Structure 1
Amino acid sequence: MMQVLRAAVEAAVWAPSVHNTQPWSFCVSGAEVRLSADPERRLRVTDPDGRQMLISCGAALFNLRIALRALGHRPVVRLLPDPDSPLLLATVRAGEPAPPDELAGLLYGEIERRRTHRSGFTALPIADELVDELVAAAGNEGARLIPVRADPMLRVLAALTGAAQEIQATDRRYALEMARWARPPGSARRDGVPADSYPTARRRGVPYHFAERDYGRGEGWGGGDEEPICAGTGLVVLLTTEGDTREDWLIAGQALQRVLLQASAYGVSAAFHGQALEMPDLRAFIRRHVCGGAHPQLLMRLGFALDEASSVRRPVAEVLREP
């Protein structure tokens, strides 16, 4: 059993997290994995309420679940099991043996292949049937994935993302916090955003430009492509929840990862644009005018990329406590 649980944790650490902060820790006891948040890795300026930290941990929780399912066990999950231990986010027990289904095996196989994209996409559209699958995948986890297709709404979201990016770029606190997680070329760190995971030069997205975070900070860092081939917008989507509690944030993270893994199985990547959602006034505006009152948790672009970004993860020994 210990081998199965360790394999599940090894899968969990490949979840996406804001700035690749990897804000989680795990403890194995008996047939159970305990997932906790690591407050030292929370973005205190960007994420004062811990919303993005819990979304990241929710994505790790989904990986735990799908790994156990693929390895032949039915996962039994308890969210926020102890009110007196707010950092303990979930327990996942390896339940009764159950033969893995085809979907579990498919998603499990994508865990280490999935990558966050930080540039434009090709002009190849995502088939409507796949978009419907991704919408259903989010719904199965209790969240809602909203494809944004109307030109006025796309212009609004692109403008708000750009405005938030400009404001954050002039705020020294934001800049210092992001600098902590922007890895210079050749860095041996196993967290943060690698310098070769985004292009050196960037073109404006077509037809809508969604501002990217400036991890290079004018240092000329990047993957070295002076003329990026892909600058397409891709499909813009919002992931929302009906509530905005800690449980909802964990639900959003699980829905996010199910969507990302299912998309990855078809060669579709995701680019994240959380700047506007990190500013309470802009997030409230998007909730009211774009999401119909639902709470926006993530803003993403989905599409096909020609290049494959790099990624790094901390070794399991750093995040796992075993008896």
Structure 2
Amino acid sequence: MIDRSEKHALDAALEAARWAPSVHNTQPWTFSVTGEEIGLRADAGRRLRVGDASGRELLISCGAALFTMRTAIRCHGYEPVVHVLPDPDRPSLIATVRPGAATEADEATALLGEQIERRRTHRAGFTGLPVPDRLVDRLVAAAAAGGARLTPVRAPEAVGVLAGLTRAAQGVQAGDRRWSLEVIRWARPPGSSRKDGVPADGYPRRAAPTEPGFPQRDYAWRHDWGGDGGAGTSIGVPALLTTAGDGRQEWIACGQALQHVLLLAAAHGVSAAFHTQALEMDPLRAFLRRELCSGEHPQMIMRLGVTFDGTSAVRRPLADLVDRPLS
């Protein structure tokens, strides 16, 4: 019989998981609750059919939700017991999570937990305020603890390559009707009541140019949508998140490492902007692996920086995510 404190921990984990980052804010997950165990499941209906045919970005998103659940359970006084891909006959079951031994959340865990609902994705340039090297080192260590490698890209030539590949991929995708329609599906017009997708104030109407240029997705697509933010012109600190392998286990681990990095960064006033366009095109991803990633598999291109632009966040209600009513 589950006791009251364990139930509180489970409820907190479900609520926290809603706030995990996901590609285009697709929120591609559902949850089942059986006794004292939560099942995290991938929602294949929310996979990007064009941009994510392999399901790589979907599983990275689910991995981020898994780390968020683990953090919430720790913050509520239990060590989480996690089994990743526990049933080969149920490939959509990403993980099971339940409260284990009683524990006391340390200061570092509590700090991460405080950022779960505060963290935001940024979609423009950053201010000129630097990201401290000591923080970057801590972010690198956080990724390593989750089985991934975060590599800050400092050399101007390498930064130029990342920016150039991003521009090339964005140019190709913007001219392809399939890609454009898929992005439009997840773009929310002003005043929309939808609880998923990218809200109109989640990106600037006209972003100030950075040097070199790292283009964002064209969520407005022929509309004059977007917020008033995005005045910063700094690219921040470009970084690559890579893994040694490139299968489902690694993608889930990468998502967990990514969320650890994002929450830790947010706790110190640093946001992330993502650029996955080049990683969605196999020839460009292979080029990056060979030329910039020392043979490891690139899973995420991001920029880390400081911004004062506040954006809203939308998430689906738990009633739409959990297959039984919460009692």
**What band does the TM-score fall into relative to the shorter chain?**
over 0.9
Corresponding position of 2:228: 224
SS of the residue aligned with 2:273?
strand
For each residue in 1:91-130, what CA deviation from the matched residue of structure 2 results, as whole angstroms up to 9, or x when unmatched?
1111011111111111001000000001110111111100
Question: Deviation of residue 55 (structure 1)?
Answer: 0.1
For each residue in 1:158-201, what CA deviation from the matched residue of structure 2 results, as whole angstroms up to 9, or x when unmatched?
00000000000011111111111000000000000000111111
Whether 1:210 aligns to 2:196 is: no
Residue from 36, 52, 77 that aligns with 2:41: 36
Alpha-carbon distance in 1 for matches of 2:224, 2:33: 43
Give the alignment of 1:163-178 within 5 angstroms: 163-178=168-183
Alpha-carbon distance in 2 for matches of 1:208, 1:265: 27
Give the alignment of 1:303-314 within 5 angstroms: 303-314=305-316
The runs of 5 or more residues in structure 1 that have no matched partner are none
Corresponding position of 1:179: 184
Q: Is the 8 A contact 1:29 1:322 kept in 2?
A: no
Give the alignment of 1:21-32 within 5 angstroms: 21-32=26-37
Alpha-carbon distance in 1 for matches of 2:207, 2:111: 33
Which runs of 4 or more aligned residues in structure 1 lie more than 6 Å from their structure 2 counterparts after TM superposition? none
Q: Which stretch shows the higher mean deviation, 228-237 or 8-17?
A: 228-237
Question: Deviation of residue 266 (structure 1)?
Answer: 0.3
Question: Deviation of residue 74 (structure 1)?
Answer: 0.5
Corresponding position of 2:145: 140
Alpha-carbon distance in 1 for matches of 2:311, 2:226: 11
Alpha-carbon distance in 2 for matches of 1:57, 1:5: 17
SS of the residue aligned with 2:12?
helix
The runs of 5 or more residues in structure 2 that have no matched partner are 1-5
For each residue in 1:43-93, what CA deviation from the matched residue of structure 2 results, as whole angstroms up to 9, or x when unmatched?
010000000000000000000000000100000111100000000010111
AA aligned to 1:222 is: G
Alpha-carbon distance in 1 for matches of 2:228, 2:154: 32
AA aligned to 1:112 is: E
AA aligned to 1:195 is: A
Whether 1:89 aligns to 2:94 is: yes
Whether 1:15 aligns to 2:15 is: no
Alpha-carbon distance in 1 for matches of 2:188, 2:110: 33
Whether 1:319 aligns to 2:321 is: yes
Alpha-carbon distance in 2 for matches of 1:221, 1:242: 40
Corresponding position of 2:270: 268
AA aligned to 2:111 is: L
Q: Is the 8 A contact 2:207 2:231 kept in 1?
A: no
AA aligned to 1:71 is: H
Corresponding position of 1:244: 246
AA aligned to 1:220 is: D
TM-score (normalizing by structure 1): 0.98
AA aligned to 1:294 is: E
Alpha-carbon distance in 1 for matches of 2:113, 2:138: 17
Alpha-carbon distance in 2 for matches of 1:273, 1:51: 15
Alpha-carbon distance in 1 for matches of 2:202, 2:232: 15
Question: Deviation of residue 229 (structure 1)?
Answer: 2.3
Alpha-carbon distance in 2 for matches of 1:54, 1:86: 11
What is the root-mean-square deviation in Å for CA atoms of aligned residues?
A: 0.9
SS of the residue aligned with 2:151?
strand
Question: Deviation of residue 284 (structure 1)?
Answer: 0.3
Question: Deviation of residue 311 (structure 1)?
Answer: 1.3
Alpha-carbon distance in 1 for matches of 2:273, 2:228: 19
